[in-house]
Every structure is written in C-alpha cells, then in structure tokens.
Amino acid sequence: MNQDTQTAPESLDPGEQRSMRKVALTALAGTSIEWYDFFIYGTAAALVFPKAFFPDDMPAMVALIASFSTFAVGFVARPLGGVVFGHFGDQVGRKRTLVIALMMMGVATLLIGMLPTYETIGVLAPLSLVLLRFIQGLAIGGQWGGAMLLVTENAPANKRGYYGAYAQAGAPVGVILANLAFLLISATVSDEAFMQWGWRIPFLASVALIGVSMYVQLNLEDTPAFRELEKMQQEHPHQGEEIMPPDEAFEAVVAAKAPPGRRSPVLEALRLYPGRIALAAGAFLSIQVAFYILIAFVVAYGSSSAGLGLPRDMMLAAVLIAAVLQVFIQFWAAAYSDRHGRKGVYLAGAALLGLWSFALFPLIDTGNFLLIVLGITGGLGFLGMQYGPQAAFFTELFSTHVRYSGASLGYQIGAILGGALAPTIAVLLWNKYGIIYVSAYIALASLLTIISVLLLTETHGTDIHSMEAP
C-alpha cells in the first residue's frame, strides 16, 4: 500500500478549500435529488402503486408483492449502469459521465409522474412502469461512481472520508426529501385526491435534477486523478491508445494479466481486481438489505391493513426523523475513519446493525411514535457507520485507470444482491414465517458483510494518485 507522503495533498489553501466545498456541496445536491428520485418510487411502491398500477381485484398482499417486484427492477439495471457508466467514466471522465446519469434519472422520474394508471391503459401501465424503473436503475448505477469520485479524488488525503461523506449523504437526504414530499402532499389534499393525482407531484418535481446536471457540466472540472491519467495517456502512448502506468511494477502486473492493445476499463477491473470487487459487493450487503427494509418495508408493515394499521404519516415521519439523524452519524463515522482507518468503524456498524435488527420490530409493534423512531433510527444509524466511510474505502481499493469501473461494479453488484429483493423477501418472510425472520434476514446480511470486510485490506493512507495497485 502506498502512503500519501508525496503526491496526494494533505491540506488545501483557502482558495482550494472554497473550490473543494463547491465540489462537495454540488455532489451532495446532485446525489440528494438523484436518490430522491430513486426513493420516491419505493415510497410510492408501498403506498400507491399496488392500487394505481395493478387490477382492483388483486388481493392486497399480492399487489404489494407485485409492486415491490417492480421496485426490484431498478436494482437489476444498476450493475449494467455501473458497467456502462464505469467504462465511460474511466475513458472520458468522471464529470461528463455523471451529467448524463443525472439527466437520465430526471427524465425517467418525470415520465413516471405522467404515467396513466391501470384503469386507463390496462397492462401497459405496469409494463411502462417497469421500463422507466429500469432506466432509473441504469442512471443510479452510473451516478454513484461519478459523484463519489468527483469528491474523493479532489479531496485532501487526510479528509477523504469526510468529503466522501457528502456524496454518501445524498442517500439519507434523498429519503428525507422523498418522505417530506409525500407528507406535504398528503397533508394538503384528501386521501382520494392523493391516490388519484397527488402522488404524481413528487415525481414531477424531479425536473430540478436536470438543472443540477447543467450546473455540474458548466461549473465543475474533472478530478486531478483523472486529469493526470489523461496526461499520462498523451505523453506515454503504448501500442496505440494503451495506458502507460508510471509504476513499473504495476505495469508488469497489467501486462501479465491482460492481452496487448486497448482494453475496456470494466474488463481490466475484473482481470486485476476480481476478489476486491466481490468482497466490496459483500461489504455492501448489510447496508442494502437493511436500508430498503427500513425505508420501504417498514412503511408498508406499519401502515397497511395487513400490518399494524398505523397512520401512514406516522411511519413516513418516523423514517424522515431517523434519516436526518443518519446524516450526522455518517459524517462522524467518515471523519473517524480518516483518523483511525476505514475497517474498524465499518465492522462495528455491521455488528451493531445485526444485533439491533432483533429490537427493531418489537419497538415498531408498540405503536408508540417515539419508540418507532428509536427503532428505525438505531437501524439507520448503525447502517450509517458503514455507509459514511464507504466512498473513501471503495475509492482506495482500486487504481485510477479502472477506479470508476471497479468501485461501481462492487457497489452495484452488492446493490442487486442486497437491495433488489429486500422489501419483497421481507414481505414473504413476514407473511409466511413471522416478522422475527425479517430480523434474521438483516442479521445474516450483516454477518456476510463482516466476513467480507475482514477479508479486505485496510485502505486508509493509500495514495489514490498512484497507478500502482493499492
């Protein structure tokens, strides 16, 4: 592992600090709205889509499972988005690729808000919903790598975790915005109006993401690490368009593992880092399984007639409060990892999440709002101890010329394995065996994450500006 003693900056002058804050806040704004777009689907899948996009005579539990299945389609598309956007992110730059991903998400979400219902166009309604959810998945698959690298590759070495947390904060902020949107609409229109047209307003509001994407395109530069890579390619051409790493040892590894000629960054990442990609995916499992149970399934469990029958707004408000607290925990955990390493705080979060899962549903079952908030906050807080340092952790696992591809593959494979069917599996386990098995499901995912992180190397202090394999 290379240490940041020479090439990676340890501190920034005042002008660079202002520039870094602009990059971090822009990444936060972009990822927040992007995740908002992705998450309002999950909230709508729990509350609206079972009635709006499926036949009226379908049993409530079956319609909920069908609705959450369309939710899963976005996750199926995420690895494909990671591959496609990872390829171009490593070839043409982090910024341009991120802009395209943001635009795709904004347009797809806008169109969901304009879709006719099952009553109007029949089976074309759920089919169109699936197609647009697939496009959402492609976009989110490309967005994470671009936003995360835009921040971490610009950050000073001793604050990489902290600044990376700005990109990571987009997920809980997206939950906050999504739940706020539904709470505001629910409070201002009748239940009948909400089900007929009110639910569409949060989707139509995603037009703001198109504005953010234009700001990124016009006001931000690409990262120093990618600009250095471009310079190397221009100054040291090798067999036409081949990348010439400056480190001879790493060049020997590349030459031994890959055929001559131009190589796809995605294939290159798979050749050089198959184990790290697989373990990165495993490290993401507990986050994904728990997150989508905590923001989507618990809303359905608490508010549906098949569940506790609690007020819908109570469950949305509980998730919203917990997500606000998650943001602060993520920043603390990320800053802690800058001082003490990535693995320790990550492992602690996974272990505590696994244990807390058995307290989660007994707290929700009380029907007491404060205890429900406590239950969900505990889950999202322990999850945040992992998600906060994750951007820096995944950045440091891969070398520059395949970093977008390698980090995106690990992240998105973990997403499809952990998050795609989490709400659906939770509904099935709850319906057939009881709610305690949903807790066991979260605990199992946490155990697999602990094993994966233990098998990964500690990356804190890695020089991400080196082409040498970390």
Q: Where are the domains of the chain?
A: 14-455
Instruction: Provide the mean pLDDT of the chain.
Output: 79
Q: How far apart are CA 193 and CA 173, in angstroms?
A: 27
Better pLDDT: 205 or 285: 285
The pLDDT of residue 358 is 96
Longest C-alpha distance within the chain, in Å? 68
Mean pLDDT calculated for residue range 267-276: 86
Q: What band does 329 get if pLDDT is binned at 50, 70 and 90?
A: very high
The pLDDT of residue 362 is 95
The pLDDT of residue 364 is 94
Residue 454 has pLDDT above 60, yes or no: yes
Q: What SS3 state is found at 3?
A: strand
Better pLDDT: 360 or 263: 360
Residue 282 has pLDDT above 80, yes or no: yes
The pLDDT of residue 365 is 92
Q: How far apart are CA 50 and CA 47, in angstroms?
A: 7
Tell me the CATH number of domain 14-455, given options 3.10.310.30, 3.40.50.200, 1.20.1250.20, 1.10.10.60: 1.20.1250.20
pTM: 0.78
Mean pLDDT calculated for residue range 63-84: 76
CA angle, 162 as apex, 157 and 163 as ends, to 5°?
80
Q: How far apart are CA 359 and CA 366, in angstroms?
A: 11
The pLDDT of residue 309 is 81
Mean pLDDT calculated for residue range 303-316: 80
The pLDDT of residue 89 is 62
Residue 19 has pLDDT above 80, yes or no: no
**Angstrom distances, CA of residue 60 to CA of 55, 159, 190:** 10, 49, 21
Mean pLDDT calculated for residue range 340-369: 95
Q: What band does 147 get if pLDDT is binned at 50, 70 and 90?
A: confident
Q: What band does 334 get if pLDDT is binned at 50, 70 and 90?
A: very high
pLDDT (tens digit per residue) in 82-141: 777 766 666 666 667 777 877 888 888 889 889 888 888 888 888 888 888 888 888 877
Residue 242 has pLDDT above 70, yes or no: no
Q: What band does 243 get if pLDDT is binned at 50, 70 and 90?
A: very low
Strand partners, 18: none
Instruction: Residue 261: count other Cβ atoms within 10 Å of its Cβ.
Output: 10
Q: How far apart are CA 410 and CA 406, in angstroms?
A: 6
The pLDDT of residue 255 is 41
The pLDDT of residue 129 is 84
Residue 189 has pLDDT above 50, yes or no: yes
